[in-house]
A and B are shown apart, each in its own frame.
Chain A
């Protein structure tokens, strides 16, 4: 208790210049006077009394130093004095100080903002459960070797048979118009999906239910809404589930609403099963996402998928799997890394400039530093 009380008082004394110092001067003067009086009483001369008083006390300056050490947290007080000295120096050269502060602020701000982009895009895992199991499947022609292209429904069904694949979903997006009772007509991004939508991505609607496998197989007229569209067009009304909306004039029943920020692809507003007609058309328009069995790698899946595609297409086409995270950021990875590098270099250049600025400033202050050094300031304090 008493130790805590003492610590708090020392802290307080360190943070504010103390009245105690003036009082100590008065107290020490009184002390010296008392000793002198005693010496004079014993018959010493005034000069001798003065000298022996100082000897008995052991030095006024030393005593004050001891008193300060005991009274306050001296390192903290030192820090306070250093800071106030730093502020004085900054104010003495306002232009240089402002330039230094501004360029540092810019450099750090730049670095921080670029890193936050890099963090969000490259470092954070995708918002799905076990995102490392997810791959994206591409196909391409072999003669001549073509660019990665989407997949047809027939190919999708064949790839689905791969043993490394636990579940897969195929989708293609298109823009449609949604209307309905009490709905302002609105353009929507419609994702037409096949396969196991919810088990592949591992997420269920927040409200209502997902598309069942029967619905997916039959191409039923049922939809799941994205969170953003639900808030915009339905004002977040949960009773929309079970009601009908018109998509290009055709009635679809709303089965559920996805959680906020979820659903793949991220830009889709509405999901519905691929219709029988669309399946028969067999257009090369599907993007395929697959969830691999745990332990299977993208390379293993690629081997298997390539073999299947070679077999079904008589080696006119090939296929492979790429980690979803990698293929999603493939286009932006290099630019973002280049930006981050540039930001780091900028910061370095700024630091170099600052060093030059400080160097120039200290040349001006050479005399002052010599004086401070001669007066006993430590090296750290002169540089600090």
Chain B
């Protein structure tokens, strides 16, 4: 049962988008919103439906928390774009959030495994 949206390509789980963005910026270095979206789609191999506009609220939240920082730069093709880079506070937060996510996922996985055995 996917949370919502069409059955074959569920939306991103609410609350995880910030973690995903942080992780993407941490591995790829500074990226613009389109770059982040493209990266997520690439990793998800089209199994997740990403409305690219929904990245913006997440970016604002992260920026206001001081975990990422945006600045205007030019792309390789000489277009302007706002690039986001992870900050030191962001790197620290990424560690904490990843830990939190692992624990939650572990718990859910254990419960699901238990159900399957019965």
Residues of chain A touching chain B, judged by Cβ–Cβ distance below 8 Å, are: 2-3, 5-6, 9-10, 23-24, 26-28, 30-31, 33-35, 37-38, 56-60, 62-63, 66-67, 69-71
Contact check, B82 vs A27: say whether CB atoms are below 8 A apart: yes
User: Judging by beta carbons under 8 Å apart, are A9 and B64 in contact?
Assistant: yes
A-B contact sample (15 more), CB < 8 A, given A26-B80, A57-B53, A63-B54: A2-B66, A2-B67, A2-B89, A5-B66, A6-B61, A23-B82, A27-B81, A30-B79, A30-B80, A34-B79, A35-B52, A56-B52, A67-B56, A70-B58, A70-B60
Cβ A5 vs Cβ B65 within 8 A = yes
Q: Is the CB of B80 within 8 A of A6?
A: no
A7 nearest CB neighbor, chain B only? B64
Do B53 and A69 touch across chains, with their CB atoms under 8 A apart?
no
A37 to B32, CA, bound (A): 15
Cα distance A31–B83 in the bound complex, in angstroms:
11
* Contact between A57 and B52, CB atoms less than 8 A apart: yes
B57 CB, min distance to chain A CBs, angstroms:
4
Q: Which of A31, A33, A58 is in CB contact (< 8 Å) with B33?
A: A31
Q: Is the CB of A62 within 8 A of B89?
A: no
> Chain B contacts of A67 at CB under 8 A?
56-57, 60
Q: What CA separation (Å) do A5 and B79 show in the bound complex?
A: 32
SS class, residues of chain B in contact with chain A: helix
Residue of B at shortest CB range from A59?
B53
Closest Cβ of chain B to A362, distance in Å, is 38
Smallest distance from the beta carbon of A290 to chain B beta carbons, Å?
Answer: 72
Distance (whole angstroms) from the CB of A256 to the closest CB of chain B: 69
Contact of B54 among A2, A5, A6, A58 (CB under 8 A): A58
B85 CB to closest chain A CB, in angstroms? 15
- CA–CA, A6 and B68, complex, Å: 12
B52-93 to A contact mask, C-beta < 8 Å, 1/0: 111011101100111100000001010111100000010001
CB <8 Å contact, A71 and B60: yes
Q: Is the CB of A31 within 8 A of B34?
A: yes
Q: Which of B52, B60, B67, B82 has the most CB of A within 10 A?
A: B60
Contacting residues, chain B, for A5 (C-beta < 8 A) = 64-66
Q: Could you tell me if A63 and B61 are in contact, using CB atoms closer than 8 angstroms?
A: no
> Which residues of chain B are near A27, meaning CB under 8 Å?
33, 81-82
User: How big is the B interface, by class?
Assistant: 20 to 34
Does B51 count as interface, using CB distance less than 8 angstroms?
yes
Contacts A6-B65, A27-B33, A30-B79; A62 near B57 (Cβ below 8 A):
no
A62 / chain B contacts, CB cutoff of 8 Å: 53
CB distance from B31 to the nearest CB of A (A): 11
A184 to chain B, nearest CB (A): 74
Contact between B93 and A2, CB atoms less than 8 A apart? yes
CB–CB A30/B81 < 8 A: yes
- Contact between A58 and B60, CB atoms less than 8 A apart: no
Q: Please name the 6 residue pairs, one residue from A and one from B, whose CB atoms are nearest each other, closest first.
A: A63-B53, A70-B57, A2-B65, A58-B51, A58-B53, A6-B64
For B93, list chain A residues within 8 Å (CB).
Answer: 2
CA distance A27 to B34 in the complex (A): 10
Task: Please report the C-alpha to C-alpha distance between residue A56 and residue B52 in the assembled complex, in whole angstroms.
Answer: 6
Least Cβ distance of A1 to chain B in Å?
Answer: 9
CA distance A30 to B51 in the complex (A): 17
Alpha-carbon distance A34/B78, docked complex (angstroms): 11
Tell me which of A6, A31, A59, A69 contacts B32 (CB under 8 A). A31
Question: Given A10-B64, A27-B82, A66 and B34 touching (CB < 8 A)?
Answer: no
Q: How far is the CA of A63 from the CA of B58 in the complex (A)?
A: 11
Q: Which residue of B lies closest to A69 (CB)?
A: B57
Please measure, in the bound complex, the distance between the C-alpha atom of A10 and the C-alpha atom of B57, giving whole angstroms: 12
CB distance from B40 to the nearest CB of A (A): 12
A34 to B80, CA, bound (A): 9
| A58 contacts across to B, CB distance below 8 A | 51-54
Q: Chain B contacts of A63 at CB under 8 A? A: 53-54, 56
CA distance A336 to B56 in the complex (A): 64
A-B contact pairs, 26 of them (CB 8 A): A2-B65, A2-B66, A2-B67, A2-B89, A3-B65, A5-B66, A6-B65, A23-B82, A26-B80, A26-B82, A27-B82, A30-B32, A30-B79, A30-B80, A31-B32, A31-B52, A34-B32, A34-B34, A34-B79, A37-B77, A58-B51, A58-B54, A66-B56, A66-B57, A67-B56, A70-B58
A205 CA to B71 CA, complexed, in Å = 76
Contacts of B57 in A (CB 8 A): 66-67, 69-70
